[in-house]
Structure 1
């Protein structure tokens, strides 16, 4: 029986983009069932007291430049040459996250992640502009009207809030976070450890 590999994701996190593609490869190699759980990073930060690294570590000498170096190394290692840091970071992702929640199933949700990752982190769309988001959805063959209308549904809003609170209760504090059962990993740098665990190693 395959294990479930859960990805706690907000599309507003650049490290979520970096982790997405190698994570899918890991799921393919290990036979794990990949499941995406959309959360709202802004809400997660509010609950945990966390903040974006470039803001949190701004006064620590050398830490932000090193983080940028490590980020670039990851891009190079995985040949992610189309990545472009969003000029509006940090930005509000609640519209996109509600769209993910509104997906009819995991297949549609992950197809939406595949659609939005390059739109956000390669083309740097305005994630809060419903008309821009509609164009992206239509370009991908999705029912934009259904998905955008659903973002105003009380149940969709509540599910996103619940997902966020439950992720924090389980120990999550940022993106990307991964779960296999009750075992948690945080950060793209832990992908190797995650794959080791899925193939029989210790956490």
Structure 2
């Protein structure tokens, strides 16, 4: 495996890939669309879906009429599931690649938005990951970090994970996340941390 891939987390998610789509409830389509509407992305955007998994967000992202969606994940097994579902349908507009958010193989200022749905706690070095996302975003580019559930639930699930590494992958209060994001070079546009949702939307300065 590539040395720039987080091997241990990749192996963990490889093992979950076979049952990932059926192991728990997916967010309602209305919730996903309402969240993406907050991003105010224009048609023709280039969107990076970080930690895409088996591609839950992919069809919703294509509803935004992007130029292309770049689906990135550590787990090649997860990505194989995504390819089977969507690659033929979306063709060249969907770019699927194994990779690590800490070491993005993208040019500077090359994307309009980075969506980090359900993945942020798994970033091993959060400041480094945020710096990489800042690098590849265009001026005024958008970063969205979100979970379609609350922080306590995510931390409970991760805290009870079979792998000790994943037990450390916890969400901090969104105010603490905001401080990190601001230090990385973003302006906060919106955020929430309540019993229904956890998200932060920011813009590259």
TM-score by length of 1: 0.26
Name whichever structure is richer in helix by fraction.
1
Instruction: Report which structure shows greater RCO (CA 8 Å, sep ≥6).
Output: 1
TM-score by length of 2: 0.25
Structure with max Cα Rg? 1
Name whichever structure is richer in strand by fraction.
2
